[in-house]
Structure formats: structure tokens, C-alpha cells
């Protein structure tokens, strides 16, 4: 069966739109999200456009700051500083990856924690790992909602995460652990990867390698979450999972596109509303 991120995200967006429509009367304004894109990475341009469209669909006001690739660090930090200080801005998102001359950690740390809709600020990350209230990163949060929408309870299950990034692998491993799964995190240096992935009842793949998970690497009945956004040999959009061969063995699987991607956007919008409500 298909874990339909498009459908689940539409339901979340409809509910957010209804909520946001009551804000002008209640609070005199709607939430506002500032999105910063440095450079012209084609994938990032698509993501940023989809984020703006998502905002518009639920009535969140938004501005996208498109900065040239040569933007200096002081220039970028100064823009973030202005947005931090602007009471009309509820959320700030800097699209990653940044051009190499910019220090990602420094940039993320500069974003005010209470406006960090991505949940990437060290304060939010620490709070997640200590089970304190925090803003949870959008993709991991979206994955958990997708599982929940299908009635898949990770409690007691063996979950395997392929990938250990700060954006997806590590936080989703923590959320699965908090949901009482037994979690294994695999990465590029993992030995006998197929042996480990075959033990998974829930398999989350966020490795960034086209079709790297093949049918021989999964067991019958597995729930597969594919976070990949890759291109295959023919330049066609595909995931980290070889959908054609893996889907027949899976009990549930996310398509690419239309799986995790739309959930990330829905959770970004939810986080923006959360930041707005917290700042009132
Ligand atoms: N690049 C890839 N995923 C993300 C994300 O969730 N947020 C931001 N800001 N950049 C990303």
C-alpha cells in the first residue's frame, strides 16, 4: 500500500488554512515566513518555490530573499539579524546547502531560536535530544505523521535508518526511539548493510543515492520511507529506493515524488504557525 504524502499533507494544509483564517480577527495578523536562498542551486530553487506555494495555500504571508552566490557571510548574517529583530516575522528559513564559503553552523546559530522553523538551531536540537518542548525538523516530523496516518505504531518494532545527517537521519532516529522503536542507524561505513536493512520492520532511507536499496535488501512486509530526491540514469526523478523491485515486498511504501516531500512542506507550515502562536 502507498503512503500517500500528497493526500496526508493536503489534509494538514486544509486544517492549517482553517486555523489561519481565524487569526486576523483574533490576533490582527497572519503568520509570516521569511525564506532565504543563497545562490542558484536548481533543486533548492524548486524547494523554495514549493515552500512559498505552500504558504500561499494556507494563508501564511511570506517573502523569499534570493541572494547571489557571492553573498558574504557578514551580509547574510546581517539579513538574518534584521529578520530576527523584525516583530512582523515569525519564521526564518535558510535553504541548505549553502555555497561553500559560508559557514552553515554559524548561519543556523544566528537564526533566533524562536523563529527557527526548520528546527536546526542547536538549542532546538538539544531540546529534541532531551525530550523538551522544541521545534522539530520538518522532514523527520513529516515521516512520523505519515506513519501515524497509516496506523503504523513504531512501538517495539525494529527500525533501521540509512543516513546520519543532521537534517533527517539523526532526528528521525531520535523520534523513532521516542516512539519506542528499536533503532539502528546505518551509514556509508556500515558493514553488511543488506544484512541490517533486512532486519527492518520500518526502513527509513535518507542516503541521497539513487535506487541504492534494492529488493534483496528488504524483508517481506517492511514499511519503507524513501527520503531520496535523486535522478536515475535517464535523468528521471527517483528515490533512494528501487521502487519497482522493493514495492512488491513492502506492506507500505512512500512514492517519490508524492511521499515525504509534501509532508516536509506541511510540517514547515505547521512549524511556522507554532512559532507565530508562541510569539503572541
Ligand atoms: N535542504 C534540504 N532539506 C532542507 C530543509 O528541510 N530545510 C532547509 N532549510 N534546507 C534543506
Over residues 37-76, the pLDDT tens digits come to 999 999 999 999 999 999 999 999 999 999 999 999 999 9
> Do residues 184 and 222 both lie within one domain?
yes
Q: What is the pLDDT of residue 183?
A: 99
| Residue 50 included in any domain | yes
| Domain end residue (candidates: 80, 113, 146) | 113
> Do residues 146 and 255 both lie within one domain?
yes
Q: What is the pLDDT of residue 258?
A: 98
Residue bearing the CA closest to ligand 1, atom 11: 96
User: Which of 36, 45, 64, 95 to mutate to test ligand 1, by most ligand atoms within 8 A of the CB atom?
Assistant: 95
| Residue 145 included in any domain | yes
> How many folded domains does the chain comprise?
2
Residues 195/171, Cβ–Cβ less than 8 Å: no
| Residue 9 included in any domain | no
| Residue 277 included in any domain | no
Return the active site residues.
51, 95, 118
> Do residues 154 and 209 both lie within one domain?
yes
Q: What is the pLDDT of residue 151?
A: 98
- β-sheet bridge partners, residue 244: none
| Residue 42 included in any domain | yes
Quick check: CB of 206 below 6 Å from ligand 1?
no
> Do residues 250 and 151 both lie within one domain?
yes
C-alpha 26 to ligand 1 mean position (Å): 31
Quick check: CB of 93 below 6 Å from ligand 1?
yes
> Do residues 237 and 163 both lie within one domain?
yes
C-alpha 25 to ligand 1 mean position (Å): 32
C-alpha 138 to ligand 1 mean position (Å): 8
> Do residues 255 and 202 both lie within one domain?
yes
Cα–Cα distance for residue pair 169/51, rounded to 1 Å:
22
**pTM of the predicted model, to two decimals?**
0.98
Residue bearing the CA closest to ligand 1, atom 2: 96
> Do residues 157 and 240 both lie within one domain?
yes
The CA-to-CA distance between both ends of the chain, in Å, stands at 42
| Domain end residue (candidates: 96, 113, 130) | 113
Which residues in the chain land under pLDDT 70? none
> Do residues 108 and 154 both lie within one domain?
no
Domain that holds residue 161: 138-261
| Domain end residue (candidates: 78, 113, 148) | 113
Q: What is the pLDDT of residue 95?
A: 98
Quick check: CB of 96 below 6 Å from ligand 1?
yes
C-alpha 97 to ligand 1 mean position (Å): 8
CATH of the domain at 66: 3.40.50.10860
Nearest ligand 1 atom, CA 97: 1
Quick check: CB of 167 below 6 Å from ligand 1?
yes
| Residue 1 included in any domain | no
Nearest ligand 1 atom, CA 137: 6
> Do residues 73 and 163 both lie within one domain?
no
Give the C-alpha distances (Å, rounded to integers) separating 120 from 72, 75, 177: 21, 21, 19
| Residue 19 included in any domain | no
Residues 183/176, Cβ–Cβ less than 8 Å: yes
> Do residues 69 and 158 both lie within one domain?
no
φ/ψ region of 255 (left if φ > 0, alpha if ψ in -120 to 50, else beta) reads beta
> Do residues 227 and 176 both lie within one domain?
yes
Q: How many residues does the chain have?
A: 280
Quick check: CB of 271 below 6 Å from ligand 1?
no
| Residue 178 included in any domain | yes
**What are the pLDDT digits (tens) for 186-211?**
999 999 999 999 999 999 999 999 99
Amino acid at each position: 500500500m502507498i503512503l500517500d504524502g500528497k493526500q496526508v499533507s493536503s489534509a494538514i494544509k486544509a486544517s492549517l488554512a482553517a486555523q489561519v483564517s481565524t487569526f486576523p480577527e483574533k490576533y490582527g495578523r497572519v503568520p509570516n515566513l521569511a525564506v532565504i536562498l543563497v545562490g542558484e542551486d536548481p533543486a533548492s530553487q524548486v524547494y523554495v518555490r514549493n515552500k512559498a506555494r505552500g504558504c500561499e495555500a494556507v494563508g501564511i504571508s511570506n517573502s523569499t530573499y534570493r541572494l547571489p552566490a557571492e553573498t558574504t557571510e557578514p551580509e547574510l548574517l546581517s539579513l538574518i539579524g534584521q529578520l530576527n529583530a523584525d516583530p512582523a516575522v515569525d519564521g526564518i528559513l535558510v535553504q541548505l546547502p549553502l555555497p561553500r564559503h559560508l559557514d552553515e553552523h554559524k548561519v543556523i546559530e544566528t537564526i533566533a531560536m524562536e523563529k527557527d522553523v526548520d528546527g536546526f538551531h542547536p538549542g532546538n536540537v538539544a531540546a529534541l535530544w532531551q525530550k523538551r518542548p522544541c521545534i522539530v525538523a520538518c522532514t523527520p516530523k513529516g515521516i512520523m505523521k505519515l506513519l501515524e496516518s497509516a496506523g503504523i505504531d513504531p512501538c517495539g518494532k525494529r527500525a533501521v535508518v540509512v543516513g546520519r545527517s543532521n537534517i533527517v537521519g539523526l532526528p528521525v532516529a531520535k523520534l523513532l526511539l521516542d516512539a519506542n522503536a528499536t533503532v539502528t542507524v546505518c551509514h556509508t561505513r556500515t558493514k553488511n548493510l543488506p544484512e541490517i536493512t533486512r532486519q527492518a520492520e520500518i526502513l527509513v532511507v535518507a542516503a541521497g543515492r539513487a535506487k541504492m536499496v534494492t529488493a534483496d535488501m528488504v524483508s517481506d512486509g517492511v514499511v519503507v520511507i524513501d527520503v531520496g530526491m535523486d535522478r536515475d540514469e535517464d535523468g528521471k526523478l527517483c528515490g533512494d529506493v528501487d521502487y519497482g523491485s522493493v514495492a512488491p515486498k513492502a506492506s507500505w511504501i512512500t512514492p517519490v515524488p508524492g511521499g515525504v516531500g509534501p509532508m516536509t512542506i506541511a510540517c514547515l507550515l505547521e512549524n511556522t504557525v507554532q512559532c507565530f502562536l508562541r510569539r503572541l
